[in-house]
Amino acid sequence: MIAANYAFALGAGLHLIPERKRGQCEELLERFYSVYENRDRSPSDTLQMLRDELRELTGPIPVPPGGSITFIAHYLPYGYAFPEVPTTHLIMYPDLGIAVVQGFAAEQPEQPKIRVATLVNPETTPAPEIETAMKLLYSRHYFVRAYEGGSAHVSAVSDMIELFPYDLLLIATHCGDVSGLRWTYEFEDSEGIQRTLVVDIALGLGRADDRDLIDVTQFIRFVSLDGVAWDDPEKDNKLYVGMAIRDFMERTGNRDDLNPIEKETVSRVVGSAALKMSDHNLIALPRSLANESTPIVINNACVSGNFSFASARAYIGTLIPITSSEAQSVVERVLDKHFDKPLAVALWAAQRNVYGSSRGSVSAAALSCNAPPLMTSPSSTSLPRGPMSNTVFWPNATGFVGQPRDQYRLSLKRVERLAVRKSRNKDLFNIAQIAEYLASSRAGTSSAPPPTKPIRRDKIASSMRNWRPRMPYTLS
């Protein structure tokens, strides 16, 4: 119903695409993410095959001359299959209606356009697009705030993303699923059922204002429950979940009386999508962005992290790894030659300038847009905007709410005590590394520069265990 009303409001046609099983979608997405890992087929051939498969899934879509396509779906980047027209995506989960309302509200005539831009470059990878963007935005008299090198550490960037009132955020760094631990728990739930739960855990570390504390962000991915894989498409028929997950979260959170019976390391925690900062990994939490506004986010990373759960109304991210020169060329054209066009149209035009008319190549598959292209008037003098829901290119997007992300603080004394225990228990995860990190920071010997304080943290809660999402709009 939302899709039909949205199409009617824009004067657009409506084309129905048959729903696909989750397993089929995840398999296709994984082939995009691993395009360079297939030794039997060239990346260009793999991408051409994926394009053909996506086109077959959608069927023929009639597009009028000068038209564009907005895909409303759960998983797949259908727009990649249609390089001849501008395309974008709205994702149904978690709340398509709020995403559409946010986009329309931001594009009302009385609303201000781009005024403040924030650029993040931890210098973990060459990022010439940051310098290019800075010059172009300065030339348009925008206020630009940059976090570069050591100043782009986890705490500073995390605070900025949540609290600083920016309109445009441009990030250039490595991003991807990080290594972690696989822990196995056995417990009896509140219904008296004996449970075996396997979870993967990834950590992000940041410096707190108190030098005796460290901010820890923890991402937990459910792997299996009672021997049934959590992502099994037939899970509902094979498994009774009941109170198992709720009891697990309570006992490992507030009560803290449940310990794993088995621990092992894993090379990849699927869905962790960490951004590499100058000191450690930033694992994004589903908090509001930019002081509860709805900014545009451009993320030039190898795998796109997730910001749209936190109210980003427009998101440009990567589908496969990209080179710094490609990122620079596309960003330069989006912010310069095509600046006054709707965002999806600007990206499409920039890609055609850089790669030619076909997106079948490896490079042209890189940057993709999630922002409907019909929201900004041609007379606008600022970077155009459009509504946005969560990015289709983030793995396991529909599992986000079920994959908890938590934030808390550890005291230095507690970490040091745990580090002593590590000498007797080699399975204890990364505690010695954390202790060494804290000790070097406190002694002033850390290789990372002293933390800057672009935003005061005095009123930030030290524990986020009781955090709940805040809705940016109240509709009556």
The Cα–Cα gap between 365 and 32 comes to: 9
Specify the pLDDT at position 271: 82
pLDDT confidence tier of residue 247, bands split at 50, 70 and 90: very high
Number of neighbouring beta carbons within 10 Å of residue 4: 9
| Cβ-proximal residues to 301 (8 Å cutoff; 6+ apart), any chain | 171, 172, 173, 174, 175, 176, 275, 317, 318
Confidence check: pLDDT of 450 > 60: no
Confidence check: pLDDT of 321 > 60: yes
The Cα–Cα gap between 79 and 83 comes to: 7
The SS3 call for residue 60 is coil
The pLDDT tens digits of the residues spanning 44-100 come to: 899 899 999 999 999 989 888 888 899 988 778 899 899 899 998 887 877 788 878
Q: Measured between alpha carbons, how far is residue 33 from residues 44, 73, 277, 305 in Å? A: 13, 19, 22, 13
Beta bridge partners of 71: 89
The Cα–Cα gap between 324 and 332 comes to: 12
Structure tokens at 437: 């990190």
Structure tokens at 165: 């009132």
DSSP designation for 149:
G
Structure tokens at 235: 């899970």
Number of neighbouring beta carbons within 10 Å of residue 255: 10
Number of neighbouring beta carbons within 10 Å of residue 158: 25
The pLDDT tens digits of the residues spanning 133-172 come to: 999 998 988 999 999 999 999 999 999 998 999 999 999 9
Buried b (16+ CB within 10 A) or exposed e, 386-414: bbbbbbbbbbbbbbbeebbbbbebbebee
> If you compute the radius of gyration of the chain from its CA atoms, what whole number of angstroms results?
23
Of 323, 333, 283, 274, which Cα lies nearest the Cα of 300? 323
DSSP string, 277-320: -SSSEEE--S--BTTTB--EEEEESSS----GGGT-SEEEEESS
Confidence check: pLDDT of 451 > 70: no
Average pLDDT, integer, range 184-207: 93
Confidence check: pLDDT of 436 > 90: no
The pLDDT tens digits of the residues spanning 10-45 come to: 888 889 898 888 788 888 888 887 888 878 888 889
**Lowest-pLDDT choice from 45-49, 202-206, 223-227, 411-415:** 411-415
Of 19, 162, 161, 2, which Cα lies nearest the Cα of 95? 2
Angle between helices 2-10 and 96-106 (to 10 degrees): 20
